Amino acid sequence: MHSQVDYNWRKLSGDKIEEPLKEAVISTILREREAGNKLKVCIGSDSLDRAGVVEFATVIVFLREKKGGFMFISNDRKVQKMSIKERMIAEVARSIEVAYSLCDVLDLYKVELEVHADINTDPGFKSNVALREAMGYILGMGFVFKAKPDAFASSSCADKCI
C-alpha cells in the first residue's frame, strides 16, 4: 500500500504538482512569505460511497491572513463496502497522514496547522458516530481538531473535489 502523501496532487486549476509534496509545500511557504503573506494550513478529507466504490478527496488549504487562499488536492478511490463510521475514520486517517508528513516543515516555518473532519457535532447526523474516535485520533497526534460547522477544509473544499 502506498501512502496518501505519494498520491497525485494538483492545484484547483488542474495543474499537476510535479515535485514531491513536502518540497511543493516548502516552496509555497517561501513564495507566500516573499509576497508578505502570513499562512495557516488546514487539511481535510471527504468521501462519497457510490455503490461500493468509495471516492476520497484530501485537500491542503493554504489560508492567507485576510487575503483568501488556495489549495492542493488529491483524489483516490477504494473498491470496498464501508460503514459510515469506517468511512469517517478513513477520511481522518488520510488527513492525519498528510498532516504528519508535513508537520515538521510547518513547525519549522511556524505555520499554524488544523486538521478538519467532515463529522457533525450534532448527534442527529449519521457522521456523528465517529466523532469521539476521530477527535481522539487527531488530538492524540497533537493536532488542532475542527469538526462541522468549523471544518471547512473537509466539508466545503474537499467536498467539492470528489
In the chain, what are the domains?
4-161 (3.30.420)
Q: How confident is the model at residue 2, as a pLDDT? A: 44
End-to-end CA distance of the chain: 21
Q: How confident is the model at residue 1, as a pLDDT? A: 38
Higher-pLDDT residue of 27 and 149 is: 27
Backbone dihedral angles phi then psi of residue 109, each to the nearest 5 degrees? -95, 10
Higher-pLDDT residue of 110 and 2 is: 110
Q: How confident is the model at residue 127, as a pLDDT? A: 87
Nearest-5° angle of CA 150, CA 96, CA 160?
Answer: 50
Burial of 52 (C-beta count, 10 Å sphere; 0-12/13-18/19+): exposed
What does pLDDT average to over the chain? 92
Question: In terms of pTM, does the model score above 0.85?
Answer: yes
pLDDT, tens only, 72-131 = 999 999 999 999 999 999 999 999 999 999 999 999 999 999 999 999 889 898 888 899
Reply yes or no on whether the pLDDT at 70 is more than 70.
Answer: yes
